[in-house]
Every structure is written in C-alpha cells, then in structure tokens.
C-alpha cells in the first residue's frame, strides 16, 4: 500500500549492524531484528523479550521499520498499522 510517511524518510545505515542496540548494551537476547528507517536504530521484534523496535518507534515517533533479517524485504508503518514496501533508498542497508 501507499504510505505517505515513507516519502519523508532519508534512510540511515544501521547504527549497530551486529544486533539490537539496547539488548547489546544490557546483555539481552533477541529473536528477530528490525531497522528504523528514520535513524538507523536496530531493535528487536515484538516476539523478543525487549520489544525494542516498537519501544523505539513509540519513544521517537519514527514511523517506519523494515525487517533486518537476512533476505527479508518488508517494512511496517506504525502510523498506518500496515505492511508497506521497502523504500529503494533503504534496500542497501538491509541484510
């Protein structure tokens, strides 16, 4: 679907390509990783104990995340509550 929030994005490279930023700091574990397409924050998914991707989105109002799992190419807009296409600009930053 069309997501107007994506048109404002200037995707940034992952800040912590090796894993979830908060979990790395706290020594926690994650299940899947998500990349914030506004600032490059890497956070863990809602199946992970920390749910840091969603927490980051709510704290910062950064609207769109993409999957940071190898080979996965989808994005999610928290405002639209819908799956959206990965912007071409963000493709090089995915795994």
How far apart CA 29 and CA 11 sit, in angstroms, is 26
Q: Is 52 or 66 the residue whose CB approaches Zn ion more closely?
A: 52
Q: Is 62 in the site for Zn ion (CB under 5 A)?
A: yes
Within residues 32-61, the interface with Zn ion by CB under 5 A covers: 36, 38-39, 41, 44, 50, 52
Compute the least distance from the CB of residue 68 to Zn ion, in Å.
Answer: 12
Q: Is 5 in the site for Zn ion (CB under 5 A)?
A: yes
Nearest alpha carbon to residue 28 among 12, 40, 43, 13 = 43
C-beta of 26 vs 91, nearer to Zn ion: 26
Which whole-number Å values give the CA distances from 57 to 38, 71, 82, in the listed order? Answer: 10, 23, 14
- Closest of 72, 3, 8, 1 to residue 35, by C-alpha: 72
The residues of the shown chain that bind Zn ion, judged by CB under 5 A, are: 3, 5, 20, 22-23, 30, 36, 38-39, 41, 44, 50, 52, 62, 77, 79-80
């Amino acid at each position: 679907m069309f997501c107007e929030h994506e048109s404002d994005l200037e995707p940034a490279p992952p800040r912590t390509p090796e894993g979830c930023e908060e979990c790395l700091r706290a020594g926690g574990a994650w299940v899947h990783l998500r990349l914030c397409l506004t600032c490059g924050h890497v956070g863990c998914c809602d199946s992970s104990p920390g749910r840091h991707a969603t927490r980051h989105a709510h704290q910062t109002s950064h609207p769109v995340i993409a999957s940071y799992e190898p080979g996965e190419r989808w994005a999610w807009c928290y405002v639209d509550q819908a799956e959206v296409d990965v912007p071409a600009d963000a493709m090089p930053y995915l795994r």
